[in-house]
Amino acid sequence: MIRYLTAGESHGPRLSGIVEGMPAGVPLVADDLNLHLSRRQLGYGRGGRMAFEKDLVTFHSGVRFGETMGGPITITLENRAFEKDDSQWPKVMHPETRDPSVDAITLPRPGHADLTGAQKYRFDDVRPVIERSSARETAMRVACCSVARQFLKQVGIEIGSHIIRIGKHGYSGWEEIREAADPLISQGAERLFEAAEESEVKCLNPTLSELMRDHIKEIRKEGSSLGGVYEVVVTGCPPGLGSYVQWDRKLDGQLAQSILSIQAMKGVEFGLGFESGVRKGHDVHDEITSRKSGNGNHKFPRRTNRSGGIEGGMTTGEPIILRGVMKPIPTLLKPLQSADLKSGEQSETRYERSDVCAVPRAIVVAESVIAPVIANAFLEKFGGDSLREILERLPK
């Protein structure tokens, strides 16, 4: 089964990752990963760091002649700011020697991992927490998970996303979202993200896009930040991925955990989600139909897809539709009140460079982290040691 680990700090020399369990023979080149890394760096509301960082991966093992070899895949991403001539980071992040000019940071930011991380690991300086808990880590997650995403493409499974709300502006509900997204989803989930990328805020609706953009501009002037809601869609999944027989094998539970593992995510829903709690049963459940396939067997598509493609912890064969909620970034130009770790004195928070609204970038991370979950569910059902063996096992 596919699993991955990331290592590295936000302002260290590089991020590293290792992906284990990929079948052999999957086509893979650096540009397959760089595509999604570049998407992660785009979007209105981004911070200054994105203006000079250009993430490009390097493979160090597990790939030969443009194909996976079945062994662990090692990936690195260089942090370009670290190597700048005037960079402070070689001193700040030195692995052995502490330079006297490097000050400890003792003022935690509300809403960040600063305080709880310092309490957990008994730090008297929150810099170690800032570095590892930073969303910079998600760059390597995108790289590692894009490996699994390449495998999914070989078996006809695609992932895409779009923004449905930023701050106070968004779609009115399920039906309006479906009207905008479903014609694209019918062409495959990647068509969804391609269309969304035509908007600076990655929203399919031009009017809403303009409202969202202006809202971000307004909040930037106030020195605050904005969160939002996004929708991720997976197409091409056969029925029966996941399982109902044990709690930890339910696919929606696994997908929810992967989304909530992303920094600043505060909620997940599938299909109608929370709207299901205010509608009647007849307006929630998906009626089952029947049609014969080319080999004479019956297939059972649904009239609607309000369940979001998952029932009883298993895929139904309809597109998986899930949504994530991202809170506003906790690093604010207009400071909040905090308390110093050493003195206990009340003080205003310090500013670390960050986005005003990271939702248009975060949706690429959300697309990415669900890829290994879907891939493992697929491998559990159709698995093998090589792509060729897996393709031979698929139903004809």
- Is residue 286 included in any domain, yes or no? no
Q: What is the mean pLDDT of the chain?
A: 94
pTM of the model: 0.94
The span from the CA of 248 to the CA of 376, in Å, is 13
Strands 158-166 and 228-235: antiparallel
pLDDT over threshold 80, residue 45: no
Q: What is the mean pLDDT of residues 133-146?
A: 97
Count of C-beta atoms within a 10 Å radius of residue 15 = 25
Q: At 207, phi and psi to the nearest 5?
A: -65, -45
pLDDT over threshold 80, residue 53: no
The tens digit of pLDDT for each residue in 247-302 reads: 999 999 999 999 999 999 999 999 999 999 999 999 999 999 998 877 778 889 99
- Is residue 279 included in any domain, yes or no? no
pLDDT of residue 311: 97
* 255 touches 373 (CB < 8 A): yes
The angle, 0 to 180 degrees and rounded to 10, between the axes of the packed helices 359-382 and 30-40 is 140
- Is residue 287 included in any domain, yes or no? no
* 75 touches 28 (CB < 8 A): no
Written as one string, the DSSP assignment of 60-106 is EESEETTEE-SSPEEEEEE-GGGGSTT-SHHHHT-SS---TT-PPP-
Report the percentage of the chain scoring pLDDT > 70. Answer: 97
pLDDT of residue 48: 54
Q: What is the mean pLDDT of residues 325-334?
A: 91
- Is residue 219 included in any domain, yes or no? yes
pLDDT of residue 84: 81
pLDDT over threshold 90, residue 54: no
pLDDT of residue 238: 96
Q: What is the mean pLDDT of residues 374-389?
A: 96
pLDDT of residue 392: 95
What's the first-to-final CA gap in the chain, in angstroms? 24
pLDDT of residue 312: 97
Type of residue found at 380: E
Can you tell me whether residue 352 is helix, strand or coil? Answer: coil
* 19 touches 72 (CB < 8 A): yes
Which range, of 134-148, 187-201, 259-273, 348-362, averages the lowest pLDDT?
Answer: 348-362
Can you tell me whether residue 42 is helix, strand or coil? Answer: coil
CATH of the domain at 136: 3.60.150.10
pLDDT over threshold 90, residue 51: no
pLDDT over threshold 70, residue 185: yes
- Is residue 285 included in any domain, yes or no? no
By residue range, what is the domain housing residue 7? 3-271+307-393
pLDDT of residue 36: 96
Torsion from C-alpha of 258, 369, 168, 224, nearest 10 degrees: 100
Which of 216, 221, 177, 178 shows the shortest CA–CA distance to 360? 216
The span from the CA of 348 to the CA of 249, in Å, is 46
pLDDT of residue 170: 98
Binned at pLDDT 50, 70 and 90, residue 353 comes out as: low
Bridge partners (DSSP) of residue 310 are 315
Which of 134, 109, 111, 129 shows the shortest CA–CA distance to 119? 129
Binned at pLDDT 50, 70 and 90, residue 339 comes out as: very high
pLDDT of residue 52: 52
Please give the tally of structural domains in the chain: 1
- Is residue 87 included in any domain, yes or no? yes
pLDDT over threshold 80, residue 352: no
Indicate if the alpha-carbon torsion angle 329, 330, 331, 332 is positive or negative. Answer: positive
- Is residue 278 included in any domain, yes or no? no
pLDDT of residue 101: 93
The tens digit of pLDDT for each residue in 150-169 reads: 999 999 999 999 999 999 99
Task: Tell me the Cα Rg of the chain.
Answer: 22
Binned at pLDDT 50, 70 and 90, residue 43 comes out as: confident
- Is residue 12 included in any domain, yes or no? yes
